[in-house]
Structure 1
Amino acid sequence: MSTVERQPHAADDPVGVLVSRASQQISELVREEMRLARAEMTQKGKRYGKGGGLFSATGIIGLLALQALTATCIAALVLVLPVWASALIITAVLGVLAAVTALAGKKQIAQAGTPTPEQAIDSVKADLAEIKEKAHR
């Protein structure tokens, strides 16, 4: 007869040991998944930060371009009008554009309604009402 000891198999272990092992493995798996998610979100966060910075730079450069365009329009009008009249005309045009844009923005905000998630609130209220109703039965 061989003196080699037989290794216990999972089928030979009591249910409590199996449940404990499964619980431990699930905990380790969840921790690993959380580490992976954290690393992924850190990387994405850095990219979002860089992207936001680049969009900010784009906005500043665009504003400078609009200022240069404004100066160019004034300079072009100076060929046929006095400087003060050219500047006044361009200022009036920009003022009208600002007013139109402001009115369009105001209309969009008015159509949006209140800044609360009304559908989500209604859904939660309905869920709570149903839970209370089932609790009283």
Structure 2
Amino acid sequence: MSSTPGVGTGTGSNGHEQPSLGELLGRISEDVSTLMRQEVALAKAELSESATRAGKGAGMLTGAGVAGHMVLVFLSISLWWGLGHLIDLGWSALVVAVIWGAVAAVLALKGRAEITEIKGAPRTMETAKKIPDALQGHEERNR
């Protein structure tokens, strides 16, 4: 029998039966389990709400992209038509096409350069390689 209140079995100073250490550990285990389930449920709810909002935002951005595309189409037609008054319509269409071809080439080159600079997740890969040593109790190998 322990002299520390609340530990061991027996009657405490207030006359109530004290739970055993096993019972206390069982309660703690249940409480931690309940807490973890509640945290997972909260995370699911938050992620679900975030995904819904992200979906709505993506839909709106898609709509904005389509509208922007239509603006470019009509501006291109206007440029083509306007140049058609200065030169033949066929030549003005070729000029507009060459302008858009140059824009596409510049964007493609810049996009390719950005993609080739992607390194992935180097820090994550480095720390992930340390997990097996840590699980085996060889943390000193990770330093």
- Give yes or no for the alignment of 1:121 onto 2:125: yes
Deviation at 1:130, TM superposition (A): 7.7
Q: TM-score, normalised by structure 1?
A: 0.76
**Does residue 84 in structure 1 map to residue 83 in structure 2?**
no
* C-alpha distance 105-84 of structure 1, shift in aligned 2 (>3 A): same
- State the identity %: 27
Q: 1:65 aligns with which of 71, 95, 106?
A: 71
Q: What does 1:1-137 align with in structure 2 at a 5 Å threshold?
A: 8=16, 12-112=18-118, 116-125=120-129, 128=132, 134=138
Shift of 1:49: 0.9
- CA root-mean-square deviation: 2.7
Aligned position for 1:3: none
Structure with the bigger RCO (C-alpha within 8 Å, sep 6+) is 1
Q: Distance in 1 between matches of 2:47 and 2:104?
A: 39
Q: Distance in 1 between matches of 2:40 and 2:137?
A: 37
1:57 CA displacement:
1.1
- Higher share in helix: 1
Aligned residues: 126
Superposed CA deviations along residues 16-50 of structure 1, whole A, max 9, x for unmatched, are 11111111122112212221211111111111111
Kindly tell me: are residues 36 and 59 of structure 1, through their superposed partners in 2, closer, same or farther at Cα, counting changes over 3 Å?
Answer: same
- Separation (CA, whole Å) in 2 of partners of 1:50 and 1:7: 61
| TM-score of the aligned structures, taking structure 2 as reference length | 0.73
